[in-house]
Amino acid sequence: MTPTAGLSFKAIHYEQAMACPAAGLWFEVHAENYMVDGGPRLAMLETLRNRFPLSIHGVGLSLAGVDRPDNEHLARLKRLTDRFEPFLLSEHLAWSRHENISFPDLLPFPRTAEALEIIARNIDITQSALGRQILVENPSLYMKLEGHDWPESLFLAEIVKRTGCGLLIDVNNVFVSASNLGFNPISYLDALPQRVIGEIHLAGHSEDPLLGRGLLIDSHDAPISDEVWTLYDWLLARCGAERPPTLIERDDEIPEFAVLLAERDKAAVMMGGRLEAIDA
Amino acid sequence: MPDLATFQRDFAAALLANCQPAGPFRSLAFAVYRNSSARGAVEALRAAYPTVDMLVGEEMFTEVALDYRREYPLTGPVLSEYGGSFPGYLARQPWTCELPYLADVARLDGLWLQSFLARDANAMPRPFGGSSKIALHPTTSFTWLATPAMTIWQAHRDPWEIPELSPDWVEEGALFTRPGSCVHAELIDAAFHHLLVACAAPASAADIASAVTATFPHSDVAELLRRGIASGALVIQ
């Protein structure tokens, strides 16, 4: 079965997921939630993996951190990927660790020549340790930082060139960043090296309670917005015939499985055609 | 433009600052990162200590968790590993003298999680024989408490029991084990606790019996062993 559109896996939806007959369905989990010694969490993932293709999405490698990736964390990720053999493995263009302190977030940095060297080194270390390619995801950005030498899409392209990694393009992150920082999301998508996009993420966002649409938050707690669906359609058209597997992400205000499946089915249909066909 | 190390040092310091950060970190946009980092730590702690959350309420738990994070920030990205020192931290807080069982309840939440995430047993159970040794199942955790915290913990994990809760102020033991996919929680007496201690290293039934009867001469060790094996807390090697 060729994976088409997938869902982030939620344990509360386990039974519906296992019974779901949708063609091309796959699931994604956060690596760090399964870095445990044993128990029902891993057993559930094992059963899911036996039924569906699985993607593992890391949030803890801190690829844009000045320190090298933590060896112990890499070893745990390797054990997980060896056991579950995910068809996709991804991390973020962000940092989340400074010295011995971790931040459960994906933090921004100025895209300088120095940052490029450090991130390329960290991706090389990661891919060597894991013995496979990883995909690197564009983050949601909220702050205007001084000192960028590169726009993000070209920075990602240069990282791909230097390391041989692939890209995970989160279309909602592109929309949120473009809205918050005032750039054109279409130009951003057009500047990406589309041939190396190995996965697409779609998710919902929310407005800051004080600033409204002046500050969008990548909250993963709402349906995917119309603007993000439109950008997704644009990106699919740029990807040509090889359309990357697409994931519907939802981490908060989790609705019924059928609601998420409907968004997933919409993405699956769009992967086979164009948005006009969906709305017609 | 500062180098990457300096930028990340300043950014990290502003994320952890107790007061409103200055300069470029004053914006509402920076507050998104500051709030997300703090919320991530608070919710990780709440997920690990749900009974403490029920006892003190959501608002107070959030305040306590933020205070705890100032002293003990996350040191790794695996959120289920955060907060191991939280029971000891609670025990040191002056305000918990009004809830003297709270730190013990936190310890029980911690033991439940330890059992839930522990490695699975490697082998199938063996029948008991002459050379058999008895050991703790890898998912077994237990403790002895100076308060009736286990009664309180169990009542809150089963909300139907809360209206009837009026525990005697006595010491209690608690046992957690996961023979299958669910954690089994049990209130245990001192003799059973002593038996579990005697099984910390694999031991023969005779050695376990000697250890238990030395302190509890009237205890029925055979029955305690049967109970331990039946619940899955003990395994025969």
10-residue averages of pLDDT along chain A (280 residues): 95 97 97 97 97 98 97 98 98 96 97 98 98 98 95 98 98 98 97 97 95 94 97 95 95 96 97 58
Contact yes or no for B175/B233 (Cβ under 8 A) = yes
The SS3 assignment for A157 reads helix
List the CATH number of the domain containing B187.
Answer: 3.90.930.50
Provide φ and ψ at B100, rounded to 5°: -65, -10
CB pairs under 8 A between A and B: 120
- Partner A contacted by B47 (CB < 8 A): no
Q: What burial class does residue A242 get, using C-beta atoms within 10 Å of its C-beta: 0-12 exposed, 13-18 middle, 19+ buried?
A: exposed
Report, as an integer, the average pLDDT of B83-94: 98
B227 shares a domain with B185:
yes
Q: Which of A41, A61, A98, A216 to mutate to test the interface with B (most CBs of B within 10 A)?
A: A98
What are the pLDDT digits (tens) for B27-68? 889 999 999 999 999 999 999 999 999 999 999 999 999 999
Contacts of B7 in chain A (CB under 8 A): 109-110
Listed residues B99, B132, B167: the one ending a domain = B99
- Partner A contacted by B40 (CB < 8 A): yes
B221 shares a domain with B124:
yes
Listed residues B99, B128, B157: the one ending a domain = B99
Contacts of A102 in chain B (CB under 8 A): 73-77
Contacts of A62 in chain B (CB under 8 A): 77
B87 shares a domain with B125:
no
Its domain, for residue B137, covers 115-236
Q: Which of B46, B79, B112 to mutate to test the interface with A (most CBs of A within 10 A)?
A: B79
- The residue behind tokens 């869902």 is A7
B141 shares a domain with B51:
no
- Identify which of A36, A66, A147 has the shortest CB distance to residue B80: A36
Using alpha carbons, select from A139, A112, A95, A61 the residue that is nearest to residue B12: A95
- Partner B contacted by A116 (CB < 8 A): no
Residue B107, in any domain of the structure: no
Residue B14, in any domain of the structure: yes
Give CA–CA dist B91/B106, Å, rounded: 10
* pTM of the shown model: 0.93
Provide the number of structural domains found in chain B.
2
User: What's residue B168's pLDDT?
Assistant: 83
Rounded to a whole number of angstroms, the distance between the first and last alpha carbons of chain A is 28
- Partner B contacted by A139 (CB < 8 A): no
B222 shares a domain with B131:
yes
Q: Which of A15, A41, A76, A103 to mutate to test the interface with B (most CBs of B within 10 A)?
A: A103
User: What's residue A280's pLDDT?
Assistant: 38
What are the pLDDT digits (tens) for B124-168? 667 767 678 999 999 999 999 999 999 999 999 876 656 667 788
- Cβ pair A210:B33 closer than 8 A: no
User: What's residue B124's pLDDT?
Assistant: 67
Structure tokens, B149: 């915290």
Contacts of A208 in chain B (CB under 8 A): 28, 32
B214 shares a domain with B128:
yes
Residue B169, in any domain of the structure: yes
- Partner A contacted by B44 (CB < 8 A): yes
